[in-house]
């Protein structure tokens, strides 16, 4: 009896989930295959003719290959930010966990503030302008790093707590200096958490819209999210191109999802529990 | 030569003093064991020698050189941890050679030293494995190998056998003793197990609450413990104690009485002893024999027949419980009354401060 | 005088080490510089500006006058109300739906792997992309949602053009995108509950629903707290989706603090941005 109910429930769940979650994605893909006229119907009809390749070409070459530049910028932004965040936050998490001083409470408070408080954008813009970093990609990298540090530090601190202090001491007796202890012993042992952290931070920074919007005005420096947003006016009637764009920028998260699903889920639940 | 000198060594965490002025001399090549109950400070003292803990007060010398502020790697020491502390992401080969790699030893020299150490400890076949693939005993050997390969002046062991099972403990204990005989290096060993202390040590240091209770050879600590604490700590099963009162003082002897014992005349140091003083009498379980005039009478509470000896838990008239180990097998039953005796010179008297009043040795 | 135990002695509190600690303070430096300069400094500056009236040359401390003035502007107040409303709706829905989905996905139904993936994937997708897609799907006449409703005879509302519905519609999309994360957190919480409790409840005569109420729900409290915190704070700070779908419109109907701040910034009004930010963070 309950077996029958389970099958019935499963069927309902699968159908409902398909409608709710898969239909929007199917819509995106269908639109990406259509030509301009058909796309304007905004319906769920099957594409007449496969225009995907022409759509892609047109989207990528629009405005002097802007999308390509955007992809490059987004990649640079993501890679640079994530690299810096991982190394700097691991260093902080390490010393924070191992060395108990009277400043630890203050430091933790400041870190938590970073998780709770929204960034003060306008003063930050003034600051960046003053430093000559406003509107520049490396300025945005530093900002992304600053905003991502709290979560990352807490993640590393929690994980380093599981590495026994004995290992540090054995290394010290073996002659390791602090630099050696961190890079030769601790960091290699942090690899699983680092993978998770890289994946979670990469997705977040790649999808970030607000910060590039504030700190990177100007088309030449756009990231893929900004480009998509700006193309709304560009493709105001060419819905097929707009959705091709959406499809293209969904590919990186999709790849990450297919390969790193387990790490993402673990990372987000771990970070959530600590937070 | 690498002797160690500890002079009035103190250690405090904030306002809490955990090491309260330790004076100790360790000769080169000696095997010294720090022993004591949990929390006595033995591990802290070891870590101060290693340089893992700062020294709050006093002076510490290695081979005549003041080493209070010297980094661990410059002290010529190696340490074996209770948890082995092997680097999980490296093979045994890399674990053992890590210190050498940090010291930028040439690869050829490094390789030879690692293989030599592996040969001494019979673990050549383990060199390519990772710690997670080893048993507890094998991991301990790798930890020892990592210490040997650095050819230190002093070996430090922090409760290395605690995480091993009983059989392995005995085997590894003998390996460590053999290692000491082969290498002839100074070894400082911390344990809470007095059997390990008695079997391995040239010199035992008994610690309690951050203070040294007694320093001496194992037999000396067994036969002439300096105070109640050492008497009760060294020797298994534990020494029996009874509250007694001084009845008379003779030349080189003190006569005591108590509710449980008729008058007993014990050889002791009589300096400052007066009639009526309260004292403690200590007799080891093995020193009590059955028969004789029966100065000790009690009711059997529990009997353990081990075949070669019999453990008897005896309840004395005052309610105090004494443990007696009788030679051979005796079939006794609970509730039975037993009369036992002990030789007076097998007993030790302790004054009201717990100090032992051993008879003065002839000079 | 207390004596430290062996284990306590093994994990030392370093007072003032005379030698260099193996955990050097300069490890904090790179992160501290970046974080201090690019986050802490602007945040404190923002607090300072919130509490002062300033010209180019001097500033006088006027306390909460700025906030009072801020709260007098009707559209700013509406933004504040909208923000709180949005946060409450999205976090409420995410908690409830997330828990229901988690219970479903940890039960004995088929295709659990597929379901978990499908529910979670939207979390990873670009918010702007999702916003644009749903804006089109929610088109009052041509959008798929209303066309589907029309097929079964219901006249679909103007999801994003009706001022009283706009905020709510965006909130729904937000929940669509974010419920996967709540679900995954809840699944972790549910899976961690030992089976023993359910067996004991069954022996005590509990029904499935009662087991849920008296075992699952209480033991999921850490997960619930996490989900509420994350989604509420996220909801208060929401910008991407609102901006992509309605730009705060129609009119100011779906403005939130974050979009208000951005509009002020675009218009060049610097003074109200800091108090707005601090309202947002409180």
pLDDT at residue C9, rounded to an integer:
42
- What lies within 8 Å, CB to CB, of B50 at 6+ separation is A173, B72, B75, B77, B79, B156
3-state secondary structure of C16: coil
Q: How confident is the model at residue C13 (pLDDT cuts 50, 70, 90)?
A: very low
Q: How confident is the model at residue B338 (pLDDT cuts 50, 70, 90)?
A: confident
Question: Is A173 part of the contact surface with chain B (CB cutoff 8 Å)?
Answer: yes
Long-range CB contact pairs, C136-142, < 8 A, 24+: C136/A42, C136/A239, C137/A24, C137/A27, C138/C169, C139/A42, C142/A41, C142/A42, C142/A43
pLDDT at residue C10, rounded to an integer:
40
Pairwise CB contact (< 8 Å): A169 & B52 = yes
Which of A170, A181, A183 should we substitute to test contact with B (largest number of B Cβ atoms within 10 Å)?
A170
Task: In whole angstroms, give the CA distance from residue A166 to residue A98.
Answer: 11
pLDDT at residue C2, rounded to an integer:
40
Q: What is the mean pLDDT of residues A241-257?
A: 90
**Interface predicted TM-score of the whole assembly (ipTM), two decimals:** 0.83
Q: Are residues B260 and B179 in the same domain?
A: no
HSE of A91, CA atoms in CB hemisphere, 13 A: 18
pLDDT tens-digit readout, A172-216 = 999 999 889 999 999 999 988 898 889 889 999 999 999 998 888
Q: How confident is the model at residue B88 (pLDDT cuts 50, 70, 90)?
A: very high
In a domain, A37, yes or no: no
- What lies within 8 Å, CB to CB, of C257 at 6+ separation is C79, C80, C83, C236, C276, C277, C279, C280
With left for phi above 0 and alpha for psi between -120 and 50, is residue A135 left, alpha or beta? left
Q: Are residues B122 and B217 in the same domain?
A: yes
Q: Residue C20: closest CA among chain B residues belongs to which residue? A: B71
For the cut 90, the answer to whether the pLDDT of residue B291 exceeds it is no
Element (H, E) at B17: strand B16-26
pLDDT at residue B59, rounded to an integer:
93
Question: Is A246 part of the contact surface with chain C (CB cutoff 8 Å)?
Answer: yes
Pick from A21, A95, A122: which is nearest to C273 by CB? A122
Pairwise CB contact (< 8 Å): A167 & B85 = yes
Total of domains in chain A: 1
Question: Is A113 part of the contact surface with chain C (CB cutoff 8 Å)?
Answer: yes
Question: Is A183 part of the contact surface with chain C (CB cutoff 8 Å)?
Answer: no
Chain C residues whose beta carbon lies within 8 Å of the beta carbon of residue B40? 3
Which of B50, B74, B75, B81 should we substitute to test contact with A (largest number of A Cβ atoms within 10 Å)?
B81
pLDDT at residue C276, rounded to an integer:
59
Element (H, E) at C163: helix C163-191
| Residue B85 neighbours by CB distance under 10 Å | 25
Q: Residue B82: closest CA among chain C residues belongs to which residue? A: C10
Question: Is A133 part of the contact surface with chain C (CB cutoff 8 Å)?
Answer: no
Task: In whole angstroms, give the CA distance from residue A139 to residue B52.
Answer: 42
Torsional sign, CA B259, B262, B263, B265:
negative
Pairwise CB contact (< 8 Å): B13 & C2 = no
The tokens describing B164, both together, are: 């091993």
Q: How confident is the model at residue C8 (pLDDT cuts 50, 70, 90)?
A: very low
Given B233, B258, B289, which residue is the final one in a domain? B233
The tokens describing B24, both together, are: 């100790």
pLDDT tens-digit readout, B28-42 = 999 999 999 998 999
Question: Is A175 part of the contact surface with chain B (CB cutoff 8 Å)?
Answer: yes
pLDDT at residue A37, rounded to an integer:
82
3-state secondary structure of B174: helix
- This prediction's pTM: 0.78
- What lies within 8 Å, CB to CB, of A53 at 6+ separation is none
Question: Is A123 part of the contact surface with chain B (CB cutoff 8 Å)?
Answer: no
In a domain, B363, yes or no: no
Q: How far is C108 from chain A (nearest CA, A)?
A: 7
Q: What is the mean pLDDT of residues C113-131?
A: 89
pLDDT at residue A169, rounded to an integer:
93
Within 189-208 of A, beta carbons closer than 8 Å to B belong to 189
Q: Are residues B166 and B108 in the same domain?
A: yes
For the cut 50, the answer to whether the pLDDT of residue C58 exceeds it is yes
Task: In whole angstroms, give the CA distance from residue A171 to residue A168.
Answer: 5
- What lies within 8 Å, CB to CB, of C250 at 6+ separation is C160, C161, C162, C163, C166
Task: In whole angstroms, give the CA distance from residue A211 to residue A205.
Answer: 9
Q: How far is B57 from chain A (nearest CA, A)?
A: 22
Task: In whole angstroms, give the CA distance from residue B115 to residue B137.
Answer: 19
3-state secondary structure of B207: strand
Question: Which CATH number is B264's domain given?
Answer: 2.40.50.140
pLDDT at residue C55, rounded to an integer:
54
Q: Which domain holds residue B173?
A: 4-233
Strand order in the sheet with B253-257: B264-267, B253-257, B240-250, B278-283, B347-350
Pairwise CB contact (< 8 Å): A169 & B77 = no
Question: Which CATH number is C146's domain given?
Answer: 1.10.3720.10
Say if residues A32 and A244 touch (Cβ distance below 8 Å). Answer: yes
Question: Which CATH number is A250's domain given?
Answer: 1.10.3720.10
Task: In whole angstroms, give the CA distance from residue C105 to residue A10.
Answer: 10
Which of B77, B79, B155 should we substitute to test contact with A (largest number of A Cβ atoms within 10 Å)?
B79
For the cut 80, the answer to whether the pLDDT of residue A78 exceeds it is yes
Task: In whole angstroms, give the CA distance from residue A91 to residue A183.
Answer: 9
Task: In whole angstroms, give the CA distance from residue A266 to residue C184.
Answer: 9
Task: In whole angstroms, give the CA distance from residue A261 to residue A269.
Answer: 12
Instruction: Considering only residues A45 and A223, tell me which one the structure prediction assigns the higher pLDDT.
Output: A223
Token pair 């030599």 in the structure block, residue = B116
Strand order in the sheet with B211-216: B77-80, B154-158, B186-191, B31-35, B203-208, B211-216
Q: Which of C111, C170, C187 is nearest to A268 (CA)?
A: C187
Given B196, B213, B233, which residue is the final one in a domain? B233
DSSP characters over C170-197: HHHHHHHHHHHHHHHHHHHHHHTS-HHH
Q: Are residues B71 and B164 in the same domain?
A: yes
Given B233, B260, B288, which residue is the final one in a domain? B233
Total of domains in chain C: 1
In a domain, B293, yes or no: yes
Q: Which of A118-127, B117-126, B289-298 has the lowest average pLDDT?
A: B289-298
Q: How far is CA A168 from CA A181, A187, A193, in A?
A: 6, 12, 19
Q: How far is B137 from chain A (nearest CA, A)?
A: 18
Say if residues A156 and A89 touch (Cβ distance below 8 Å). Answer: yes
Say if residues B178 and B186 touch (Cβ distance below 8 Å). Answer: no
Torsional sign, CA B143, B148, B152, B157:
positive
For the cut 80, the answer to whether the pLDDT of residue B165 exceeds it is yes
In a domain, C20, yes or no: no
Question: Which CATH number is B80's domain given?
Answer: 3.40.50.300
pLDDT tens-digit readout, C234-263 = 888 888 889 888 887 787 788 888 888 888
Q: Which domain holds residue C228?
A: 88-245
Question: Is C124 part of the contact surface with chain B (CB cutoff 8 Å)?
Answer: no
Pairwise CB contact (< 8 Å): B17 & C1 = yes
For the cut 90, the answer to whether the pLDDT of residue C33 exceeds it is yes
Task: In whole angstroms, give the CA distance from residue A228 to residue A247.
Answer: 11
Question: Is A261 part of the contact surface with chain C (CB cutoff 8 Å)?
Answer: yes
Q: Which of B93-107, C49-63, C106-120, C252-266 has the lowest average pLDDT?
A: C49-63
pLDDT at residue B260, rounded to an integer:
80
Q: Which of C195, C216, C227, C114 is nearest to A269 (CA)?
A: C227
Pairwise CB contact (< 8 Å): B210 & C3 = yes
Q: Are residues B39 and B103 in the same domain?
A: yes
Say if residues B284 and B240 touch (Cβ distance below 8 Å). Answer: yes
If you compute the radius of gyration of chain B from its CA atoms, what whole number of angstroms results?
A: 25
The tokens describing C71, both together, are: 């709260």
Q: Which domain holds residue A185?
A: 63-274
b/e sequence C231-243, b meaning 16+ C-beta within 10 Å: bbbbbbbbbbbbb
Chain A residues whose beta carbon lies within 8 Å of the beta carbon of residue C270? 122
Pairwise CB contact (< 8 Å): B72 & A189 = no
Say if residues C242 and C261 touch (Cβ distance below 8 Å). Answer: no
Q: Which of B92-96, B231-235, C32-36, C156-160 has the lowest average pLDDT?
A: C156-160
Q: Which of B45, A100, A178 is nearest to C15 (CA)?
A: A100
Q: Are residues B211 and B251 in the same domain?
A: no
For the cut 50, the answer to whether the pLDDT of residue C15 exceeds it is no
Pairwise CB contact (< 8 Å): A164 & B50 = no
Pick from B50, B85, B103: which is nearest to A175 by CB? B103
DSSP-assigned letter for residue B124: G
Q: Is the peptide bond before C40 cis (omega within 30 degrees of 0)?
A: no
Pick from C125, C144, C236: which is nearest to A44 by CB? C144
Residues of chain B in Cβ contact (below 8 Å) with chain C: 13-14, 16-18, 38-41, 43-44, 47, 53-54, 69, 71, 209-210
Chain C residues whose beta carbon lies within 8 Å of the beta carbon of residue B39? 3-6
b/e sequence C139-170, b meaning 16+ C-beta within 10 Å: beeebbbbbeeeeeeeebbbbbbeeebbbbbb
Q: Which of A257, A224, A19, A26 is nearest to C124 (CA)?
A: A257
The tokens describing B225, both together, are: 């413990």
Q: What is the mean pLDDT of residues B287-308?
A: 85
DSSP-assigned letter for residue B237: S
Total of domains in chain B: 2
Question: Is A116 part of the contact surface with chain C (CB cutoff 8 Å)?
Answer: yes
Q: How far is A202 from chain C (nearest CA, A)?
A: 10
Pairwise CB contact (< 8 Å): C39 & A146 = yes
HSE of A53, CA atoms in CB hemisphere, 13 A: 2
pLDDT at residue B208, rounded to an integer:
93
In a domain, A33, yes or no: no
Q: How confident is the model at residue A233 (pLDDT cuts 50, 70, 90)?
A: confident
Chain A residues whose beta carbon lies within 8 Å of the beta carbon of residue B98? 171, 174, 176
DSSP characters over A209-254: -HHHHHH--SGGG--HHHHHHHHHHHTSS-HHHHHHHHHHHHHHHH
Q: How far is CA C15 from CA B37, B168, C21, C213, in A?
A: 26, 39, 11, 50
pLDDT at residue B219, rounded to an integer:
94
pLDDT at residue C281, rounded to an integer:
53
Q: What is the mean pLDDT of residues C204-219?
A: 87
Instruction: Considering only residues B238 and A274, tell me which one the structure prediction assigns the higher pLDDT.
Output: B238
Q: Are residues B205 and B303 in the same domain?
A: no
pLDDT at residue C273, rounded to an integer:
56
Task: In whole angstroms, give the CA distance from residue C54 to residue C59.
Answer: 4
Task: In whole angstroms, give the CA distance from residue A120 to residue C60.
Answer: 21
Question: Is A185 part of the contact surface with chain C (CB cutoff 8 Å)?
Answer: no
Q: How confident is the model at residue B93 (pLDDT cuts 50, 70, 90)?
A: very high
Q: How far is CA C82 from CA A153, C128, C161, C229, in A?
A: 33, 20, 16, 18
Pairwise CB contact (< 8 Å): A99 & C121 = no
For the cut 60, the answer to whether the pLDDT of residue C279 exceeds it is no
Element (H, E) at C52: strand C52-54
Task: In whole angstroms, give the CA distance from residue B346 to residue A176.
Answer: 54
């Amino acid at each position: 009896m309950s077996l029958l109910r389970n099958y019935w429930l499963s069927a309902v769940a699968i159908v409902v989930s398909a409608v709710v979650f898969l239909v929007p994605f199917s819509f995106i893909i269908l639109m990406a295959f259509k030509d301009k006229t058909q796309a304007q119907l905004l319906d769920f009809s099957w594409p007449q003719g496969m225009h995907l390749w022409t759509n892609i070409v047109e989207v990528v070459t629009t405005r002097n290959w802007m999308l390509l530049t955007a992809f490059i910028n987004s990649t640079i932004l993501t890679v640079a930010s994530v690299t810096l965040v991982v190394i700097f936050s691991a260093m902080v998490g390490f010393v924070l966990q191992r060395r108990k001083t009277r400043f630890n409470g203050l430091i933790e408070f400041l870190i938590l503030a970073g998780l709770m408080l929204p960034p003060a954008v306008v003063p930050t813009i003034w600051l960046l302008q003053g430093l000559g970093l406003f509107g520049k990609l490396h300025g945005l990298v530093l900002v992304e790093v600053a905003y991502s540090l709290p979560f990352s530090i807490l993640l590393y601190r929690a994980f380093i707590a599981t590495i026994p202090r004995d290992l540090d001491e054995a290394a010290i007796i073996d002659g390791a200096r602090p630099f050696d202890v961190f890079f030769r012993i601790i960091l290699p042992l942090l690899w699983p958490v680092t993978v998770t952290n890289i994946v979670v931070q990469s997705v977040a920074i790649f999808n970030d819209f607000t910060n590039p919007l504030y700190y990177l005005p100007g088309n030449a420096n756009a990231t893929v999210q900004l480009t998509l947003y700006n193309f709304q006016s560009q493709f105001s009637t060419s819905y097929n191109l707009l959705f091709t764009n959406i499809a293209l920028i969904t590919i990186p998260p999709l790849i990450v999802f297919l390969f790193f699903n387990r790490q993402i889920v673990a990372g987000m639940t771990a970070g959530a529990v600590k937070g | 030569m690498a002797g160690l000198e500890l002079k009035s060594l103190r250690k405090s965490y904030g306002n809490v003093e955990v090491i309260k002025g330790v004076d100790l001399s360790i000769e080169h090549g000696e095997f010294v064991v720090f022993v004591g109950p949990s929390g006595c400070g033995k591990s802290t003292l070891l870590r101060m020698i290693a340089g893992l803990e700062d020294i709050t007060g006093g002076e510490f010398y290695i081979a005549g050189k003041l080493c209070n502020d010297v980094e661990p790697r410059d002290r010529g020491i190696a340490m074996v941890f209770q948890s082995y502390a092997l680097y999980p992401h490296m093979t045994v080969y890399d674990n053992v050679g890590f210190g050498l790699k940090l010291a930028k030893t040439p690869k050829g020299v490094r390789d030879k030293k690692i293989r030599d150490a592996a040969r001494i400890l019979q673990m050549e076949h383990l060199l390519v494995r990772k710690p997670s693939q080893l048993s507890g005993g094998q991991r301990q050997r790798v930890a020892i190998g990592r210490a040997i390969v650095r050819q230190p002046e002093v070996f430090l062991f922090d409760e290395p056998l605690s995480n091993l099972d009983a059989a392995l403990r005995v085997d590894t204990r003998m390996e460590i003793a053999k290692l000491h005989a082969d290498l002839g290096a100074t070894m400082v060993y911390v344990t809470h197990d007095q059997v390990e202390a008695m079997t391995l040590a040239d010199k035992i240091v008994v610690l309690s609450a951050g203070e040294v209770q007694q320093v001496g050879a194992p037999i000396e600590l067994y036969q002439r413990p300096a105070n109640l604490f050492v008497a009760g700590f060294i020797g298994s099963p534990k020494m029996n104690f009874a509250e007694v009162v001084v009845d008379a003082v003779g030349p080189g002897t003190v006569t005591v009485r108590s509710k449980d014992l008729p008058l007993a005349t014990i050889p002791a140091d009589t300096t400052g002893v007066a009639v009526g003083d309260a004292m403690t009498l200590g007799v080891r379980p093995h020193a009590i024999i059955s028969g004789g005039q029966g100065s000790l009478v009690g009711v059997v509470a529990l009997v353990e027949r081990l075949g070669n000896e019999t453990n008897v838990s005896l309840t004395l008239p005052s309610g105090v419980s004494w443990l007696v180990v009788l030679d051979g097998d005796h079939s006794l039953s609970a509730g039975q009354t037993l009369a036992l005796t002990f030789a007076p010179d097998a007993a030790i008297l302790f004054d009201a401060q717990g100090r032992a009043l051993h008879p003065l040795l002839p000079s | 005088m207390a004596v430290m135990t062996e284990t306590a002695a093994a994990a030392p509190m370093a007072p003032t080490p005379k030698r260099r600690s193996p955990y050097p303070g300069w490890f904090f430096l790179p992160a501290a510089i970046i974080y201090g300069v690019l986050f802490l400094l602007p945040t404190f500056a923002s607090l300072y500006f919130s509490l002062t009236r300033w010209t180019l040359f001097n500033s006088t401390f006027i306390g909460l006058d700025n906030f009072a003035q801020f709260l007098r502007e009707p559209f700013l107040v509406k933004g504040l109300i909208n923000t709180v409303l949005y946060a409450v709706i999205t976090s409420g829905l995410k908690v409830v739906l997330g828990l229901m989905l988690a219970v479903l996905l940890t039960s004995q139904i088929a295709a659990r792997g597929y379901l978990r993936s499908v529910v979670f994937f939207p979390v990873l997708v670009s918010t702007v992309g999702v916003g644009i897609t749903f804006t089109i799907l929610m088109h009052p006449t041509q959008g798929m949602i209303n066309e589907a409703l029309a097929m079964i005879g219901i006249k679909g509302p103007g999801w994003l053009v009706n001022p009283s519905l706009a905020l709510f519609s965006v909130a729904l999309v937000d929940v669509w995108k974010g419920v996967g994360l709540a679900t995954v957190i809840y699944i972790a919480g549910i899976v961690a509950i030992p089976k023993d409790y359910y067996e004991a409840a069954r022996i005590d005569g509990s029904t499935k629903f009662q087991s849920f109420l008296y075992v699952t729900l209480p033991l999921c409290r850490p997960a619930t707290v996490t989900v509420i915190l994350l989604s509420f704070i996220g909801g208060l700070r929401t910008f991407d989706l609102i901006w992509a779908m309605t730009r705060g419109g129609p009119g100011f109907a779906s403005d939130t603090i974050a979009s208000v701040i951005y509009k002020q910034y675009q218009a060049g009004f610097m003074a109200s941005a800091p108090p707005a930010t601090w309202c947002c963070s409180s």
